[in-house]
Structure 1
């Protein structure tokens, strides 16, 4: 899966106002999934650890400007926190509708990711990557285990120096601690569904 790199947050909902009761938990969930401490995120966002802790516990107001800085520190666009506000109560934390997926675009890498699992608080995450022709994730590794299924296109995959070319319908699994890399040397976008545990988004 593509490496976890930070993105700038140029796009934001025009008139949206953050709902502190919904956003605090999302911030904590995403921070933990990325393996970041309160101190690291607070420093990157230019706020105090105490203030960030209050935000995560929904005990403090969250101005849109502060949310933008926290979003940048967590490597997501601000609209990440506004998805799912209209999810029916009986679907919350269970269902993700196709038109309500959270997205990350790594423009420099030519990779877009869509979160398919309802949240990052469970034992695993599921996402779909769209890898443009010529895109390459570069080498990386992290804790955990991951598996994937190529939905369309061709995926070039390296795991601990071994090279594999996978086509639509092929699947794979490996320990994420092994150095790995994915790329698309084909002429059409490649779509891959990934399952990672623990969540690394």
Structure 2
């Protein structure tokens, strides 16, 4: 299947980015370390999807790779830690943002494996939690690039979900996998490189 090729490409790309961020630790240890772990977690996610474990077939015959959202709970929580740190959020707000992110991803996983009303109930719950994250990021000390980037590109994930076999099924599994890969590269590698090169935390 075409999505298997996409998963292999994802494994290769994020394996490369893992080593890139390891090298960049000499420049910005704290940010590069977080981004290294994010890339490693993403490699594991793509390996599991390539293996075919944790899939669900929807009535159209397309596969839903719902484990993606479980790994996002880990990798995106690290990104939320990074963003909160760079914005100077206090400890408890950071914990609140990370906890909200975990809720977003776990309810996203539940939306992917349930049907009918339950599916959309979990999707709405996930979207509300995501909206709350964006609200909290705008409170207190903030950063225009970080807020704008997160709002635009992270908002594309629920759009991709709606179009995917898990949602309305407008896109097949292969196109969905490609869309998620592009978003992963933008929100993890490009973003991580940008923060590592342009932000310093004492």
Q: TM-score, normalised by structure 2?
A: 0.28
Please state which structure has a larger fraction of its residues in strand: 1
Comparing both chains, which one has the higher relative contact order based on Cα–Cα distances under 8 Å and sequence gaps of 6 or more? 2
Greater Rg, structure 1 or structure 2?
A: 1
Please state which structure has a larger fraction of its residues in helix: 2
Q: TM-score, normalised by structure 1?
A: 0.28
